[in-house]
Amino acid sequence: MKTQVSRIVLGSLICLALLTTFSTSGAQPPTSSPPTEHLRLDVSEPPPPIPEPQMAPLRARALEPLPPGTGFIPPPMDLSHLTGQKMPKGAVPQALPDVFDWRNKDGNNYVSPVKNQGNCGSCYTFATIGNFEARLLIEGESLFDFSENNAKECNWRELNNFQYPNPGDYWGSCDGGNAFMLASLFSQKGTVLETCDPYQDSDVNCNPNCPYQKTLLDWRIISGDAVPSTQVLKQYIYDHGPVITSMYADSGQGFNGSYDGSYTFNYTVPPGNTNHAVLIVGWSNNLPPVPGGTDPADGWIVKNSWGTGWGDNGYFYITYGAANIGTSSSFIHDWQDYDVNGDIWYYDDDGWWGSWGYNNPTAWGLVKFIPPEDTKVTRVEFWTTDATTDIDVYIYDDFDGTTLSNLLASKENLSFDEAGYHSVALDSPLAVTAGDDVIAVVKFTNESYGYPIATDPHGTVETGRTYMSLSGSGWTDMGVTHNTDVAIRLRTSKGSVPTPNAIYLPLVLRNHPAPPPRWVIILSEDFEGPFPGSTWSVSDNDSNSGLYYWGKRDCRSSSGSFSAWSVGAGDTTLSCGNDYPNDVFAWMVYGPFSLADATAAELLFDWWSETELTYDMFFWGASIDGNEFWGSYVTGDWSSWTMGERLDLSNVYHLGNLLGEDEVWIAFVFGSDSSNTYEGSYVDNVVLRKQTGGGTRRSQSPPSLQRVLQPNQTMEFVGLRLSQAGIQTIR
């Protein structure tokens, strides 16, 4: 049995669970068999032969080479039965607005910043993680920046030298993928932060040492191999947030580096052809015209993963159904905080890879686990291959290969309106003992699809562990007979059971107290687009050695291809790696912006610096007059990227709390004296954000540097004046 530690969450707002009750036993579980209607046999007659399960056909289409900057590979299962023609459960019939955009929903932005996949076929990680980050914002949590690098390097296929579609075709981390792979990874383990595992657009090693943040519990498929109904897809976006989807990126139709957002894509390709994963965030009937047209276009607003310098600040527009957009649409539905005391037991290392059944909408799956320690089972988890009309879940104490006995728990009459990955919570954790087997049984009844059991043939296939049955009696050992594992899992925890997100109603229909304040992005700058443009003001206030400015360069970056180098522009263009000149006082300023309505605000960024110790410096700070800036400066050798540096604008050195100020500026400053030069300083991935609503939060203590300095490093709080010529700190 494979196990991975993961968080378990139970709890709030599980509307489907209101229809059922879950019973668990105490120290003496009742002895019981499966439902009797499945076991009535006349002992005077020989038992009927056990029906033989069949595997659903896989998709016939061969894989095509992926264009640069794409990376979507559809799963191997034929999902043509998932047509996307049915409205989401609980949706109220209504006329949707002509324009809807999750970047501006009731004045709030619920979409995380655009990122850049670079020269790597990892689009599926950006689309899936972008969906996860947006769902968290919609649910009132802070802005998370999860690691796409960890997702592409630490999934099962990359870690196990998976070969597909042919033997010898090794699956590299930049060779593409899909949301199925990440649903499996995030449910087995979880997401990690970008700051722990920064993105690299190449095949590198998995970093297994990052702490997990969120664990996936439920992921739902809107459409498989077909473009869904436009109205259905709009309703899902309206109810549940931005949607992961795929399309065919055709450079011959302008879907390339030249696109500037001035027109709306409107080209067709053969049905089913897709190669790129993106995130639909909304729609509009007032988009730029299609090529050759003059009237406003009607279509989707889509977040790409090619940086903010591409398209319209990283976004593009496309008419409904063009380029097969909408194919393979899905969304993350439920999750929990990662549980350090938790585990998950499973045999489907690679998740859902095949669908099995009896050409009948109903089939039973059984998985037997041997607990490695005393713990408590909290959830039963599984994949569904279609929308279901009935799901019944049982946990038994014994199974001898033929007969189940000692029923420990059951939960019946469930259903899920979408195929995907699902989690059923126990009302009370079920104690299990190390070495004493526990058996999870699930009866699946699909709406129509005759192959209800998801399986995985990859990794070490188990024998005597996973089984299928047509009726709940007469079991087929899938490892022995078909070399595959049934994909049913048990989630456990030795600690207190956490609370899941567990939202089962459309988000716009929920009536609960106002959510906590959400982050509103004021500025997001990854230096992949035009710089300084109208966003930044750059200057050099010391002209003794000529003028040198902060400039966009590809010398170093914490992610993507570019960052701002402290002497990247000016009278002379320096080559990457050159030392900075003497007598530079280079400023990069943004503002003014308002914090009048803010209850919290912060500046986040990545930085790298190498300067003369004590005499040359890199500074970041804030101002309320646009001239006198207060903050931190460093000198010496900081020549590795510091990720996620934070300036709390409610607690700025000397200035104190800036919340409530009508005008605020932030600045990055580099200064050198008249001797001894090094490479200088770099800044990347700048995010300036605020929260609004609720009471103002004020810091109670002055800011602290909280750094362990090396002998070749200094760091201090200081002030600088933009009006000064040359470095003169104020304290």
Q: Over 60: is that where the pLDDT of 725 sits? A: yes
Asked whether residue 591 is domain-assigned, the answer is yes
Contact 620, 648 (CB under 8 A): no
| CA–CA distance, 200 with 153 (Å, rounded to integer) | 10
**Quick check: is 88 in a domain?**
no
Q: How confident is the model at residue 61 (pLDDT cuts 50, 70, 90)?
A: low
Of 276, 422, 458, 482, which residue is the catalytic one? 276
CB of 210 closer than 8 Å to CB of 196: yes
Exposure b/e, 505-540, CB count within 10 A at least 16 = b? bbeeeeeeeeeebbbbbbbbbbbbbebbeeebbbeb
Average pLDDT (566-572) is 92
Confidence label for 719 from pLDDT (cuts 50, 70 and 90):
confident
Both 364 and 249 in one domain: the answer is no
What does the pLDDT average to over 702-730?
68
Domain end: 493, 528, 556, which one?
Answer: 493
Contact 231, 320 (CB under 8 A): no
Span 458-483, pLDDT tens digits:
999 999 999 999 999 999 999 999 99
Q: Which residues of 226-257 are buried (b: 16+ CB within 10 A; e: fewer)?
A: bbbbbebbbbbbbbbbbbbbbbbbbeebebee
Contact partners, residue 422, CB within 8 Å, separation at least 6: 217, 218, 381, 382, 383, 384, 391, 416
Q: Which of the following is catalytic: 123, 154, 174, 555?
A: 123
Task: Please report the pLDDT score of residue 541 as a whole number.
Answer: 84
Better-predicted residue by pLDDT, 38 or 412? 412
pLDDT of 710 reads 73
Q: What is the pLDDT, as a whole number, of residue 30?
A: 34
pLDDT on residue 168: 77
Q: Do residues 96 and 373 make contact, with C-beta atoms less than 8 angstroms apart?
A: no
Give tens-digit pLDDT for 424-464.
999 899 999 999 999 999 999 999 999 999 999 999 999 99
Question: What pLDDT sits at residue 28?
Answer: 32
Question: What does the alpha-carbon distance between residue 646 and residue 699 come to, in Å, rounded to a whole number?
Answer: 15
Looking at the domain assignment, is residue 69 inside a domain?
Answer: no
The answer as to whether 91 is a domain residue is: no
Q: Smallest Cα–Cα separation from 610: which of 712, 675, 710, 680?
A: 680
Residue 555 shares a structural domain with residue 628? yes
Specify whether 323 is located in the same domain as 348. Answer: no
Residue pair 350/237 in contact by the 8 Å Cβ criterion: no
Whether 75 maps to a domain, the answer reads no
Last residue of a domain, one of 277, 310, 332: 332
| Dist CA 336 CA 135 (whole Å) | 12
179: three-class secondary structure by DSSP: helix
Under 8 Å between Cβ of 343 and 419? no
pLDDT at 703 over 70: no
131/10 Cα distance (integer angstroms): 22
Element containing residue 135 per DSSP (H, E)? helix 123-138
**Strand, helix or coil at 621?**
strand
Q: Are 265 and 254 a contacting pair, CB within 8 Å?
A: yes
Question: Does residue 82 belong to any structural domain of this protein?
Answer: no
Q: What is the pLDDT of residues 376-427, one digit of tens each?
A: 999 999 999 999 999 999 999 999 999 999 999 999 999 999 999 999 999 8
Identify the three-state secondary structure at position 581. coil
The burial class, CB within 10 Å (0-12 / 13-18 / 19+), for 665 is buried
Neighbour-count burial of 294, counting CB atoms closer than 10 A to its CB (0-12 exposed, 13-18 middle, 19+ buried): exposed
Residue whose tokens read 């590198």: 204
Instruction: Tell me, yes or no, whether 459 and 549 share the same domain.
Output: no
Cα–Cα nearest to 449, from 418, 411, 489:
418
CB atoms within 10 A of CB 568: 25
Instruction: Tell me the pLDDT band of 67, cut-offs 50, 70 and 90.
Output: confident
pLDDT at 510 over 70: no
272 or 643: whose pLDDT is higher? 272
CA-CA distance, 180 to 193, in Å (whole number)?
20
pTM of the model: 0.68
Question: Which contiguous run of DSSP H or E holds residue 51?
Answer: none
Say whether 475 sits in a helix, a strand or coil: coil
Check whether residue 596 and residue 713 sit in a common domain.
Answer: yes
- Domain extent, residue 252, equals 99-162+169-332
**pLDDT score for 708:** 55
What contacts 531, CB < 8 A, 6 or more positions away? 525, 551, 552, 564
What is residue 710's DSSP assignment? -
Cross-strand partners of 344:
4, 491
User: Is residue 541 in a domain?
Assistant: yes
Are 217 and 318 within one domain?
yes
Find out whether 157 and 171 touch, Cβ atoms under 8 Å.
yes
Point out the domain boundary residue: 301, 332, 363. 332
pLDDT at 11 over 70: no
CB 191 within 8 A of CB 130: no
The token pair that represents 330 in the structure block: 């899905």
Contacts for 299 with CB less than 8 Å, ≥ 6 apart: 264, 266, 283, 284, 287, 317, 318, 319, 320, 322
- The answer to whether residues 488 and 541 belong to one domain is no
Average pLDDT value for residue range 351-377: 97
Q: Look at 53-57, 137-141, 241-245, 508-512 and tell me which has the smallest mean pLDDT.
A: 508-512
If 0-12 CB within 10 Å is exposed, 13-18 middle and 19+ buried, where does residue 77 land?
buried
Task: Please state, in angstroms and rounded to a whole number, the distance separating the CA atoms of residues 347 and 2.
Answer: 6
For range 226-253, the mean pLDDT: 96
Q: What is the pLDDT of residue 628?
A: 92
Residue 276 annotated to the active site? yes
Give, in degrees to the nearest 5, the angle at Cα 230 between 224 and 231.
115
The domain that holds 307 is classified in CATH as: 3.90.70.10
pLDDT score of 709: 61
Helix, strand, coil: what percent of the chain each, to 5?
10, 35, 55
Domain count along the chain: 3
Lowest mean pLDDT among 92-106, 345-359, 479-493, 689-703: 689-703
Q: Say yes or no: 386 and 415 in one domain.
A: yes
What's the pLDDT score for residue 704?
46
Residues 280 and 359 in one domain: no
Strand, coil or helix: 195: coil
What φ, ψ does residue 125 adopt, rounded to 5°?
-70, -40
Mapped onto helix, strand or coil, the DSSP state of residue 282 is strand
Q: Stretch 116-138: mean pLDDT, rounded?
A: 97
Preceding amide of 270 cis, omega within 30: no
Mean pLDDT of the chain: 87
Do residues 481 and 560 share a domain?
no
Catalytic residue, from 116, 150, 275, 304: name it: 304
Residue 100: CB atoms within 10 A of its CB come to 16
Length of the chain: 731
Cα of 21 vs its chain's centroid, Å: 32
Three-state DSSP class for 31?
A: coil
Question: Six-digit token pair at 10?
Answer: 């139970």
Distance CA 163, CA 147 (A): 25
* Residue matched to tokens 């889509």: 302
Q: 29 or 53: which carries more pLDDT confidence? A: 53
In degrees rounded to 5, what are phi and psi of residue 136?
A: -65, -45
Are residues 301 and 350 located together in one domain of the fold?
Answer: no
- Of all residues in the chain, what percent carry a pLDDT higher than 70? 86
Question: Would you tell me how many other CB atoms lie within 10 Å of the CB of residue 398?
Answer: 16
420 in any annotated domain: yes
Q: Which residue has the tokens 């595997």?
A: 55
Q: Residue 451 in contact with residue 56, Cβ under 8 Å? A: yes
Structure tokens at 612: 């003369």
For 614, phi then psi, to 5°, come to 80, -40
CATH code at 470?
2.60.120.820
| Tokens at 78, concatenated | 């034929």
Q: Is 304 an annotated catalytic residue?
A: yes
pLDDT of 514 strictly over 70:
no
Tell me the C-alpha to C-alpha distance, in Å, between residue 182 and each of 213, 221, 339: 15, 13, 18
pLDDT at 42 over 90: no
- Segment 645-659 mean pLDDT: 91
pLDDT on residue 496? 75
Catalytic site includes residue 120: no
CATH number at residue 552: 2.60.120.260
Same domain for 609 and 692, yes or no, is yes
> Which of helix, strand or coil describes residue 496?
coil
